Amino acid sequence: MASGSMPPSQPSEPSSELAALYRRQREPMVRLARLFTGSSAVAEEVVQEAFLRMHQQAIRPDNPDGYLRTTVANISRSHMRRLRLERRVPEQDRVTFNDPVIDETWAAVCRLPFRQRAVLALRFYEDMAQADIARVLGCRVGTVKSSLNRGLSKLREELS
Partner 1 sequence: MTEIDSLEQRLRRTFEAVAAQPVRPSSTGTDSSSAGTDSWWDGGTPARAHRNLRRTVATVAAAAVVAVVALLVAYGPRSSDTNPGAVPAGAPGNSVQAVFAPATPVPQAFVEHIESVLFRRLRAFGDTGATVRTGVGGTIDVTAQNLTPAETHLLGTTDSLYIRPVLCGAVAARPADVSGLLSGPLPSCQAQDETSAANLDVNVRTGVPANVIPPDPGFASYSTTSEAADDPSATVLLAGDPTSGAQQYPRFVLGPAQLTGSAIASAQAQSLGNNSGSDVLITLTRSAATQWDEVAQQNLHQYLAFDLNGLVLSTPLIQPLNSAFVSFDGKMQLSGNFSAADAKDLAAVLGSGPLPVRLVLQSLTTVSTALGTARTG
- In which region does residue 108 sit, left (phi positive, over 0), alpha (psi from -120 to 50) or beta (all else)? alpha
Per CB under 8 A, 30 contacts partner 1: yes
Only segment of 2-10, 62-70, 130-138, 139-147 that touches partner 1 (CB under 8 A): 2-10
Closer residue to partner 1, CB minimum distance, 9 or 62: 9
Q: 38: closest CA among 94, 79, 92?
A: 94
**Are the C-beta atoms of 114 and 125 separated by less than 8 Å?**
no
Per CB under 8 A, 52 contacts partner 1: yes
Residue 143 CB, shortest distance to partner 1, in Å, is: 19
DSSP 126: S
Distance CA 133, CA 101 (A): 27
Closer residue to partner 1, CB minimum distance, 123 or 134: 123
Binding mask 64-93 for partner 1 (x = CB under 8 A): ----------------------------x-
Which residue in the set 99, 129, 140, 142 belongs to the binding site for partner 1 (CB under 8 A)? 99
Side-chain-side CA neighbours of 38 within 13 Å: the count stands at 27
Per CB under 8 A, 11 contacts partner 1: yes
